[in-house]
C-alpha cells in the first residue's frame, strides 16, 4: 500500500516589520540576532488556532476536489500546546486541547461540511511533531481505520506585548498549513518515516550549557543516522535532497557535521521568508522548491527536523 500526501495548502501567513512588535528590552538582542541570521518577524492573524486553520482546510479540500463528507479523520498538529508557558503566554488560555476539539467539532468541521471527520490532536514532539503526526495518519490508513486523513498544522505567535518564552523564541508568525494523507489520492509518496528521541538532549535543553547541548546533539545525530541506515539501508545523506528545519547557522553546522553533509547540501529555502515555523518548515520548503521549478517528478526529498530532544526524517518521492 502506498500512502500519499496531496493538496498542500498554506494560508494565513501575516507579514509585518519586526519593529511592529513591542518586544521587551531583554528580548531585543535575541530578536536582533535571529534577524541577522536570516529570520524575520510577523504579526498575529487569528484569535485561536481553530480559526487560523479554517482557510487552509478549505483550500486543501478545494484543490484536491474531494467531497468534504469523504474526509473521515482530521489530525491537528501544533506546538503551541507542548509547554504550559506557551499555553499561558502564547495563546492567552484559548488554545487548550478541549477548546481546539470543541472548535473543530462545533465550528470548523461543520462549517466545511466534514460531518464524518473524527478529530485528533497531535502535540508534544516539538519540531519533530510532523513525523509523529504522519506516522499516526499512515497507521490510521494502513489499519483501514480511516481512508482520508486531513492533516492541519497551525501555530500562533504570542502577543507582542508579552514576554517571549524561550521555547517560543522563533515563533514569529501565525501560520496554518493543511494536506491530505490518503492511499486513494495521488501526491507526494510517503517513503520513509524515522524518528529518534534523546533523553540527554532533553536534560541539557534548559541547562544553559551551550557546549554540552552541542555535544549531545552530535551524539544524537550519529545515533539517528545509524537508525536511518538500519531502517532504510542507506545513511540520511543518500536519501536525495536534504531539506532541514529553519534552524540557526550554528545549529545547521552541527547538523552537517553530525550527518556528514556538506553545508551546501543542507537546504533551508524558506528561512528568510518565514523564520522557524516548527512542524511546517519542511512542507513550506517542499512547496516553495516545487513552485520554483527546482524539484521535478521522481525526485527524492528528505525533510529533516531537529527538535530540542527529538530528531525526525520524512522521505517523500515527488509525483
Based on the fold, state whether residues 160 and 102 are members of the same structural domain: yes
| Domain count along the chain | 2
Based on the fold, state whether residues 193 and 173 are members of the same structural domain: no
More reliable by pLDDT, 118 or 239: 239
What tens digit of pLDDT does each residue of 192-222 get? 999 988 888 777 766 667 788 888 889 999 9
Based on the fold, state whether residues 236 and 167 are members of the same structural domain: no
Based on the fold, state whether residues 136 and 199 are members of the same structural domain: no
More reliable by pLDDT, 285 or 309: 285
**Phi-psi bin for 125: left (phi > 0), alpha (psi -120 to 50), beta?**
alpha
**Whole-number pLDDT of residue 142:** 87
Based on the fold, state whether residues 67 and 143 are members of the same structural domain: yes
- Report the percentage of the chain scoring pLDDT > 90: 23
Looking at 153, 182, 211, the residue that finishes a domain is: 182
More reliable by pLDDT, 166 or 252: 252
Residues 214 and 204: their CA atoms lie apart, in Å, by 9
Based on the fold, state whether residues 93 and 146 are members of the same structural domain: yes
Task: State mean pLDDT over 92-112.
Answer: 60
Based on the fold, state whether residues 37 and 22 are members of the same structural domain: yes
Looking at 159, 182, 205, the residue that finishes a domain is: 182
**Whole-number pLDDT of residue 233:** 94
CATH number at residue 64: 3.40.47.10
Residues 208 and 202: their CA atoms lie apart, in Å, by 12
**Whole-number pLDDT of residue 279:** 82
**Whole-number pLDDT of residue 50:** 67
Based on the fold, state whether residues 178 and 256 are members of the same structural domain: no
Domain that includes residue 28, residue range: 4-182
What tens digit of pLDDT does each residue of 139-192 get? 989 888 889 999 888 776 654 433 333 333 344 556 788 899 998 888 899 999
The neighbouring-strand residues paired with 180 are 6, 150
**Whole-number pLDDT of residue 166:** 36
**In angstroms, what CA-CA distances link 232 with 113, 236, 255?**
40, 9, 20
Based on the fold, state whether residues 164 and 265 are members of the same structural domain: no
Looking at 160, 182, 204, the residue that finishes a domain is: 182
Based on the fold, state whether residues 163 and 221 are members of the same structural domain: no
Based on the fold, state whether residues 137 and 199 are members of the same structural domain: no
**Whole-number pLDDT of residue 112:** 79
**Whole-number pLDDT of residue 228:** 95
Based on the fold, state whether residues 71 and 206 are members of the same structural domain: no
Amino acid at each position: 500500500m502506498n500512502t500519499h500526501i496531496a493538496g498542500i495548502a498554506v494560508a494565513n501567513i501575516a507579514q509585518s516589520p519586526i519593529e511592529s512588535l513591542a518586544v521587551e528590552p531583554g528580548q531585543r538582542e535575541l530578536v536582533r540576532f535571529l534577524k541577522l541570521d536570516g529570520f524575520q518577524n510577523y504579526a498575529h492573524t487569528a484569535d485561536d488556532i481553530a480559526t487560523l486553520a479554517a482557510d487552509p482546510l478549505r483550500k486543501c479540500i478545494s484543490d484536491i476536489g474531494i467531497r468534504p463528507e469523504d474526509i473521515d479523520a482530521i489530525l491537528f498538529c501544533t506546538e503551541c500546546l507542548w509547554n504550559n508557558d506557551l499555553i499561558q503566554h502564547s495563546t492567552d488560555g484559548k488554545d487548550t486541547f478541549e477548546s481546539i476539539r470543541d472548535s473543530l467539532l462545533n465550528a470548523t468541521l461543520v462549517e466545511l461540511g466534514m460531518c464524518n471527520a473524527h478529530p485528533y490532536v497531535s502535540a508534544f514532539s516539538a519540531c519533530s511533531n510532523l513525523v509523529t503526526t504522519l506516522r499516526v495518519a499512515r497507521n490510521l490508513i494502513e489499519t483501514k481505520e480511516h481512508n482520508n486523513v486531513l492533516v492541519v498544522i497551525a501555530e500562533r505567535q504570542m502577543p507582542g506585548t508579552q514576554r517571549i518564552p524561550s521555547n517560543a523564541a522563533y515563533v514569529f508568525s501565525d501560520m496554518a498549513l493543511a494536506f491530505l494523507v490518503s492511499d486513494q489520492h495521488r501526491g507526494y509518496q510517503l517513503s520513509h518515516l524515522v524518528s529518534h528521541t534523546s533523553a540527554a538532549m532533553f536534560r541539557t535543553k534548559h541547562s544553559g550549557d551551550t557546549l554540552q547541548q552541542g555535544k549531545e546533539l552530535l551524539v544524537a545525530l550519529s545515533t539517528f543516522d545509524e537508525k536511518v541506515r538500519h531502517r532504510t539501508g542507506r545513511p540520511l545523506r543518500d536519501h536525495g535532497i536534504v531539506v532541514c528545519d529553519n534552524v540557526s547557522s550554528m545549529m545547521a553546522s552541527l547538523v552537517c557535521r553530525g550527518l556528514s553533509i556538506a553545508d551546501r547540501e543542507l537546504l533551508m529555502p524558506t528561512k528568510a521568508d518565514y523564520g522557524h515555523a516548527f512542524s511546517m518548515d519542511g512542507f513550506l520548503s517542499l512547496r516553495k522548491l516545487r513552485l520554483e521549478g527546482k524539484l521535478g517528478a521522481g525526485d527524492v526529498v528528505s525533510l529533516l527536523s531537529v527538535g530540542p530532544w527529538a530528531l525526525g526524517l520524512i522521505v517523500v518521492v515527488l509525483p
